[in-house]
Amino acid sequence: MTSKRCFSSMMKENMRHQIWLVVLSILGNTLSMPALYLLTVGGQEVFDNRYALAAHEVSGFATTQFMIPAGVIALMGCLMVAVSGFQYLHSRKKEDLYESLPIRRRDLFLVNWLNGFLIWFVPFVCNLFVMYFMAFARYSRMKKNYFAYEIYKRAVNDVEWLTGPQFFCKTMLTGLALVLAFLVVYNLVILAMTLTGNPINTLAVAGTIGVGVIGFVGLFNVMIQLYLETWMGEVPYGKIAILSPLANLYRLAVFQAHSAPTALYVRVLLENLLVAVLLFAAAYLCYLKRPTEMAGQGLKSKYMRYPIQILVTVCAIMAGWILMTAVVESFGNEEFAAIWAILGGLLAGAFVFGVLDIIFQLDFKAFFKHKLLMLCTVAAGLLFCIGMATDLFGYDSYLPDKNNIAEMSLFSNDHSSYERYWATNPELKELLDREAGIKDQDMIYALLQKAVAPVDYSELYAYPEERICVKVTLKSGRSYYRTYEVVSSPELQAVLDTIQYRDLAYKIKDREKETFVSATISRNDASTKITNKDVLYAISEAYNRDLREKTIGELETGIALGRITFTSMSDDAFITHRFYITEGMVNTVQTLRENGYEDMVTPYTTQKVEKVFLSMRDVYDLKDPDVDMFERMESYFGVDLKNGEYMTNYGKEGIKSMYRSGELPPVVYQLDTDEYASDGWFVEITDEKDVQEILNLTSCIYNYDMASPWTAELYLSMKNGETYLLPSYELLPEKYLVSFLAEYFVRYGK
Amino acid sequence: MIEVKNISKNFDDIKAIDQVTAHIDEGHVFGLIGTNGAGKSTFLRMVSGVLKPDGGEIVIDGEPVFDNPKIKSEIFYISDDQFFFQTGNALDMMKLYKSVYPNFDTEKFKSLMEKFGLETGRKVSTFSKGMKKQLSVILGICAGTKYLLCDETFDGLDPVMRQAVKALFVKEIDERGLTPIIASHNLRELEDICEYVGLLHKGGILLEKDIDDMKLNIHKIQCVVKTEEMLNKIKEGLDIVTIDNRGSLYTITVRGKREDAENFMEELDPTFYELLPLSLEEIFISETEVKGYDVKALLF
């Protein structure tokens, strides 16, 4: 008997024993594609001649949406056929039979692999084409009916109709994605089966190979975000995902669902194809080398066991640490967070390591089988976490000696006034490398010394800060990137005052202007959208002129009149450029006025505002007798009320008296406005002078990179009867806080 | 011919087979005997190409067996717990083997199934243990291979069936030179069918001989000696394997030719002596005792 004949007869024989899977596959694929199509969109009547809408539903299902039901079937199918085809690897009896047969291991593998694939693939392809033909026929009919109506001909440009080839390609591309999804998971499961001797070990190994690396990187990134303040960069999940097949598959599904650009989608398709091929090759080689006696055993290979155990344990330690920190902090016990985090990491690490030993050894007594390795892994994991939390490795305070530095470049932080949504997601470092940064070495080094020096946080409320990026190239040739939050200081001011920095951080670049889509001006009472490219260009030019003519400090003075957001979109990027319009931006304000946006840049004045209401936000639970209102208000608003002017000069009774006599602003309990009906306690400010004072205070520019000195919920009651809620501030002037206290004393006899 | 050269196999820290060498000629029944855990199944699994030896090599008809379909097509392995498809019948099993064994004889299969009284259409899962063993043997015979490896195959067969299977083996040996290799711990089963025997013990092979030669070279002497001095002379003059006594009756197992032992005892002239042949079981026990295996401790 020739090898070829033997192979085909074995294929036939193997398929005969999996006939139940063939039936399930046919049933599942039929239900998930043609049947579901007919049940949902394929059999619906078209009401009111809305052919475009109905056709859109048909094409939507047949080109994209069938991915979900058919994908579920594909994933269930690949698990079932993989397990069914290769389950003999987990049974000594079956291994004895199959391995003793006169057929090469290679052929046995291919017979099982190919049969498993065909069991799913053939019914899938048949049903895909059945669904495609049904859907396309209906789609074409609707298209014809649509154009038969004269009235629609005028609106032809408003409806996007797919051509025949487009419809076909989209359907087949989704089908291809499903085939790849099947192959990736199928090969992953087979690989895990060949490496192990029983199902639970297969599960553990498949999970680790499937998402182990991305899980580790994700947790590592959380630790970085939590603890490394100067870390700069984005985790290239797209690149790392290729090391975690299931994560890469998830990317494919997301890209498919969100209609990613074709080039990008094709790249992800190819990546998944590569992953599927690599998994196949790994499964094939592992199968050929697999010792038969592994059947029924756990995971014997130390080259697989220990890396998995260490990787998963370190992940568990980080997860335990992060989870425990979050839980403890959510209960407000921040001072004990470190102890709980260590405990969380320790328990999670030891537990996971021990459980993996039980699984790999298939022995409940094996929890402490590798005590030394367990101890070392958990200790190393905890040391890493502690090191991150305490900057033990000196990452955030690192600054090389100036003599060792060849060059420094300073950039604005990506988020100073931009938000970039990059489809191709280049790293921030790559973006910086494209730009020319500030090169003044002395100025940068002085700033960095300030940035890495210990900060007196008590001063932070009073000073704004700037986030900057730096690229440092050492004389050794090594270079690194960092980002720093620098508190207000002469060193920072020196940077902010340079035109170069303003250009880098705030200027609207030419490439953005070329791809402007729109701009939206918003303030508390209104918003408007500008789409005229000439106007957009004029405003951006005016804004850039302001940046040239004034320092940042000068631009930040005056009342914040509103906020403007420019949107630019090119083939590979979606950029928003957002900033607040202040009175100091004379050119910008003037241009907006000239272009008909006068109302959007006219500040509130007492001529317009009748009253102001200040609330206590979430501190107004004054009814709780256990709460010490002094402490609560002091800690929340950052003031010293007990030793403040009012308590010292007038005492509690004096305050009560002043409150009753109206010397202190009154408190109201409910505020019903047109837009913002709310319960709570509010200080009502009616005196024109006091109202103006509040309005002046609101004029401080607030930018999410620059902490504003005070905050509360602030309602404006206008003279024309309208009310507006202004954005939050963080501190109330003392006399208003005292009003709340006085009301509290009076009302509850405290 | 099967040539096993210094093969070893470890399962974790356990040495299942340690430096075993054996030669199995064609056309004879080879018995592989050994205690529980001696490595018989491991040996057969390696010879059948299921397991790969950690060291040494197994050459069958001049070629290594592992992952070699050409050689494996001449071997049929019946494991001690043969796998049958859960919902399959005997025909399903036949179809599987027929698809891979080029010389599979379907007619013979049907004929033997009938002779053994087994229904081809009945689910194998409803068969008794003995019926499954019979089916395995029938499949093995019909596969048309040169070598048939049977692991504890006679265990579970009733005496009638055992004789029928033995007869079948004899017929196949005569007709086409089949070489059955039968592993068993039940020596009586092998005694009347095996021509050659390999004795495995603690992973190593103790002996590999023609059964007749074995029987010719080891004997049991029962005697009553007149004096202590006479007993000492026996101990010095004969190649004693074991010696045991119940009162004045000594049972001595000795190596060597029957005539030599007989002449020696005749010359010594004890009160009583008798030369008895050893059963294969007694040979096995004696050999394993010599190697330090306490059979009695295990049995009693």
CB contact (8 A) between residue B51 and residue A97: no
* Predicted pLDDT at A707: 29
Residues A139-157, mean pLDDT to the nearest whole number: 71
* Predicted pLDDT at B177: 87
Residues of B in contact with A10 (CB under 8 A): 99-100
Q: Residue B300's pLDDT band (boundaries 50, 70, 90)?
A: very low
Q: Among the ranges A410-424, A482-496, A685-699, B93-107, which has the highest mean pLDDT value?
A: B93-107
Residues A716-725, mean pLDDT to the nearest whole number: 77
Query: How many A×B Cβ pairs under 8 Å?
Result: 74
* Predicted pLDDT at A373: 95
**Does the CB of B75 have a partner CB in chain A at under 8 Å?**
yes
More confident residue, A730 or A9: A9
CB contact (8 A) between residue A97 and residue B70: no
* Predicted pLDDT at A37: 93
* Predicted pLDDT at A619: 54
- Residue % of chain A over a pLDDT of 90: 40
* Predicted pLDDT at A710: 36
Residues A712-727, mean pLDDT to the nearest whole number: 72
Min mean pLDDT across A352-366, A650-664, B204-218, B263-277 is at B204-218
Backbone angles phi, psi at A424, to 5 degrees: -85, -5
Average pLDDT, rounded, for chain B: 86
* Predicted pLDDT at A422: 39
Of A17, A93, A292, the CB nearest to B83: A93
Report yes or no: B259 and B224 within 8 Å, Cβ to Cβ.
no
CB contact (8 A) between residue B72 and residue A105: no
- Identify the H or E element spanning A344: helix A337-361
Number of helical H runs and strand E runs in chain A: 28, 13
The distance of B161 to chain A (nearest Cα, Å) reads: 24
Average pLDDT, rounded, for chain A: 83
* Predicted pLDDT at B63: 92
Residues of B in contact with A107 (CB under 8 A): 69
Asked whether residue A209 carries a pLDDT value surpassing 90, the answer given is yes
Asked whether residue A67 carries a pLDDT value surpassing 70, the answer given is yes
Closest residue in A to B85 (Cα) is A17
Q: What is the CA radius of gyration of chain A?
A: 34
CB contact (8 A) between residue B82 and residue A17: no
Residues of A in contact with B67 (CB under 8 A): 104-105
Q: Residue B259's pLDDT band (boundaries 50, 70, 90)?
A: confident
pLDDT digits (tens, 9 = 90+) for B111-168: 999 999 999 889 999 999 889 999 999 999 999 999 999 998 887 788 888 888 888 8
Q: How far apart are CA A248 and CA A214, in angstroms?
A: 9
Q: What is the ipTM of this complex?
A: 0.85
CB contact (8 A) between residue A103 and residue B75: no
The residue type of A629 is M
Asked whether residue A574 carries a pLDDT value surpassing 90, the answer given is no
pLDDT digits (tens, 9 = 90+) for B237-248: 888 888 888 888
Q: How far apart are CA A162 and CA A391, in angstroms?
A: 57
The distance of B98 to chain A (nearest Cα, Å) reads: 9
* Residues facing residue A582 across a β-bridge: A560
More confident residue, A298 or A466: A298
More confident residue, A210 or B257: A210
CB contact (8 A) between residue A103 and residue B100: yes
Count other Cβ atoms within 10 Å, centred on residue A658: 17
Of B67, B92, B99, the CB nearest to A104: B67
Give the C-alpha distances (Å, rounded to integers) separating A734 from A439, A624, A698, A707: 45, 22, 16, 19
The distance of A374 to chain B (nearest Cα, Å) reads: 21
* Predicted pLDDT at B288: 67
Rounded to 5°, angle at Cα A548 from A543 and A553: 85
pLDDT digits (tens, 9 = 90+) for A430-462: 666 666 788 889 999 999 998 888 776 555 444
Q: Residue A336's pLDDT band (boundaries 50, 70, 90)?
A: confident
Q: How far apart are CA B182 and CA B76, in angstroms?
A: 12
DSSP A415: T
Min mean pLDDT across A35-39, A73-77, A606-610, B29-33 is at A606-610
Asked whether residue A712 carries a pLDDT value surpassing 70, the answer given is no
Q: Residue A558's pLDDT band (boundaries 50, 70, 90)?
A: low
Q: Residue A695's pLDDT band (boundaries 50, 70, 90)?
A: confident
pLDDT digits (tens, 9 = 90+) for A216-274: 999 999 999 889 888 877 777 878 888 899 998 988 888 877 777 777 888 889 999 99
Q: pTM to 2 decimals?
A: 0.73
DSSP A710: -
Give the C-alpha distances (Å, rounded to integers) separating A639 from A646, A652, A733, A738, B207: 13, 17, 9, 11, 97
Residues of B in contact with A95 (CB under 8 A): 50
The residues on A that touch B, with CB distances below 8 Å, are: 1, 3, 6, 9-10, 12-13, 16-17, 91, 93-97, 99-105, 107, 291-293, 300
Of A6, A99, A107, the CB nearest to B49: A99
* Predicted pLDDT at A734: 77
Closest residue in B to A2 (Cα) is B102
Strands (E), A443-523: 465-474, 479-487, 516-522
Asked whether residue B293 carries a pLDDT value surpassing 70, the answer given is no
Residues B74-83, mean pLDDT to the nearest whole number: 92
Asked whether residue A615 carries a pLDDT value surpassing 90, the answer given is no
More confident residue, A628 or B234: B234
More confident residue, A717 or A67: A67
Backbone angles phi, psi at B97, to 5 degrees: -70, -35
* Predicted pLDDT at A418: 47
3-state secondary structure chain B: CEEEEEEEEEECCEEEEEEEEEEECCCCCEEEEECCCCCHHHHHHHHCCCCCCCEEEEEECCEECCCCHHHHCCEEEECCCCCCCCCCEHHHHHHHHHHHCCCCCHHHHHHHHHHCCCCCCCEHHHCCHHHHHHHHHHHHHHCCCCEEEEECCCCCCCHHHHHHHHHHHHHHHHHHCCEEEEEECCHHHHHCCCCEEEEEECCEEEEEEEHHHHHHHEEEEEEECCCHHHHHHHHHHCEEEEEEEECCEEEEEEECCHHHHHHHHHHHCCCEEEEEECCHHHHHHHHHHHCCCCHHHHHC
Sheet of B196-201: strand order equals B75-78, B147-151, B179-184, B30-34, B196-201, B204-210
* Predicted pLDDT at A121: 96
* Predicted pLDDT at B197: 82
Count other Cβ atoms within 10 Å, centred on residue A498: 16
Residues A537-562, mean pLDDT to the nearest whole number: 82
The distance of B101 to chain A (nearest Cα, Å) reads: 7
More confident residue, A359 or A724: A359
Asked whether residue B172 carries a pLDDT value surpassing 80, the answer given is yes
Give the C-alpha distances (Å, rounded to integers) separating A513 from A385, A430, A560, A597: 45, 22, 24, 20
pLDDT digits (tens, 9 = 90+) for A133-144: 999 999 998 888
Residues A542-548, mean pLDDT to the nearest whole number: 91
Residues of A in contact with B71 (CB under 8 A): 102
Residues A499-527, mean pLDDT to the nearest whole number: 82
Report yes or no: A279 and A210 within 8 Å, Cβ to Cβ.
no
Sign of CA dihedral A44, A45, A48, A51: positive
Asked whether residue A187 carries a pLDDT value surpassing 90, the answer given is yes
**Does the CB of B69 have a partner CB in chain A at under 8 Å?**
yes
Closest residue in A to B12 (Cα) is A300
* Predicted pLDDT at A702: 44
Of A9, A16, A100, the CB nearest to B77: A100
The distance of B48 to chain A (nearest Cα, Å) reads: 6
Q: How far apart are CA A14 and CA B170, in angstroms?
A: 34
CB contact (8 A) between residue A102 and residue B96: no
* Residues facing residue A353 across a β-bridge: none
Of A96, A103, A291, the CB nearest to B69: A103
